[in-house]
Amino acid sequence: MSHRSLSAPSIDTLTVEALAQARQLTGIEGDARIVVSPYRFNPLGAHIDHQGGAVLARCLNQYTILVFWPSADRSSTVHACLQQGVWQDSQFEPEELVEDHGWDAMARASVTAFANHSPMSHGITAVVTGTLVSGGLSSSASVILAYLSALAEANDVCLSPVELVELARQVENDYRGLNNGIQDQMSIAFGERDHLSILNVEEVSAELVADPDSISQVCFLMCYSGISRDLAGSPFNTRVAQCLEAARLLSSDAASLGEVPLALRTKDAIEQLPSIQARRARHVYSEMQRVRDGALAWKSGDWQAFGQMMNMSCQSSINDYESGSEWLIALHEIASQLEGVYGNRFSGGGYGGCLFMLVDVEAVEQIADTLLERYLARYPELQGEARIMIAESESTVRIVSPDSLNSTSVSHGQ
């Protein structure tokens, strides 16, 4: 496996292909507009955003690409290929919602949330594709932000990052029925290339941490397990409820574990909780500390320390949060045995999706070959589904010019 084969297609290549496909599907030859919305991963900060914890985030070079034209009226037509290569078409007005967790429901909810927030004279005709959907990389947040950005562009509306995050939250919480936090949306809305973002979910703000000069010594390698991830069908909401119960037991006034006063977060107090709630609290509080320590390690280029914290995060997710799937745990176990891997942990909720590794750049090809070989030896049925690639850093959701293919940021009111 060569270094070149580990690289994802360039965004220019993907955009050109998406534009040609959109014109063919719609028959529209007029001036198109294109939204590029990256995916994200969290090197540290698993399962704590909904408890008020800060998160370390990074955008990466996997994308939702949405080619669109403003509609003459408020109706929208969406052609989406976001699930197992199957195209889904729908046409709808604002407030025409459906009660399911599919991609059609996401589009309808995005339009409705936008229409209830901003003056909306135009819907969109859109063709939407994704590069690694259901990989635990926040593809749903990426898609929602793409819809919202397209609608804003079509209606000459300027949405700030905070407004984008809030509208995306409404889509996920109010319309999709998920009790997730806002770090997925924040990771993308505040992301900058060659930086980690420290996301303060309570204040909906981000602090950028630039990659150190020694970043050339390492890279992030991602392995897709071949098993898709869907939070709505996972134990996600159950885990959140258990965290909230732990918070109430520690402090009756606390609405989340992050609101529990420091004086009440003692080891003795946590050990007095029922077993499940104790494990959830132990994970949340230890992960909050790992985020703080990890940001310092990243700034100084201490890859050994940062990798160790990734390993500890993954072990805590498995043992205390109980979120790991069979396949991701297998990938974690294999990666932990390989020389040149500083650390690794699950992406997303840990119920499917990808494993991320911080690796020595000189060993990346050997690591990729060995990891995939050992994983497929254990799960031969995933041949052709599981794959591995380098995760390069990316920037926020943005509009791309079809003519020049030079990216210009969506106006965020900054």
Q: Write out the two tokens for 14.
A: 């993907």
The pLDDT of residue 317: 95
* Nearest partner of 347 among 186, 207, 231, 205, judged by Cα: 231
- The pLDDT score that the predictor gives to residue 228 is 77
- Local confidence pLDDT in tens for the 414 residues of the chain: 445 579 999 999 999 999 999 999 999 988 999 999 999 999 999 999 999 999 999 999 999 999 999 999 999 999 999 876 789 899 999 999 987 777 889 999 999 999 999 999 999 999 999 987 766 677 889 999 999 999 999 999 999 999 999 999 999 999 888 777 798 899 999 999 999 999 999 999 999 999 999 999 999 999 999 887 655 456 888 999 999 999 999 999 999 999 999 999 999 999 999 999 999 999 999 999 999 999 999 999 999 999 999 999 999 999 999 998 899 999 999 999 999 999 999 986 666 789 999 999 999 999 999 999 999 999 999 999 999 999 999 999 999 988 765 444 444 433
- The full 3-state SS of 264-288, as one line of letters, equals HCCHHHHHCCCHHHHHHHHHHHHHH
Tell me what pLDDT residue 404 has.
Answer: 60
pLDDT of residue 411: 40
Q: What is the pLDDT of residue 5?
A: 76
* pLDDT given at position 135: 63
Distance from the first to the final alpha carbon of the chain: 43
Q: Which of 164, 159, 236, 151 is nearest to 204 (CA)?
A: 164
Catalytic residue among 184, 194, 320, 369: 184
How confident is the model at residue 254, as a pLDDT? 97
The predicted structure's pLDDT at residue 24: 95
> Is-catalytic flag, 184?
yes
Look up residue 402 and give its amino acid.
P
CA separation for the pair 249, 255 (Å, rounded): 11
The phi-psi region of residue 47 (left if phi > 0; otherwise alpha if psi is between -120 and 50; otherwise beta) is left
Name the pTM for this structure: 0.90
Q: Are 243 and 256 in contact (CB under 8 A)?
A: yes
**Structural domains in the chain, sorted by start:** 4-38+59-192+395-409 (3.30.230.10), 213-391 (3.30.70.890)
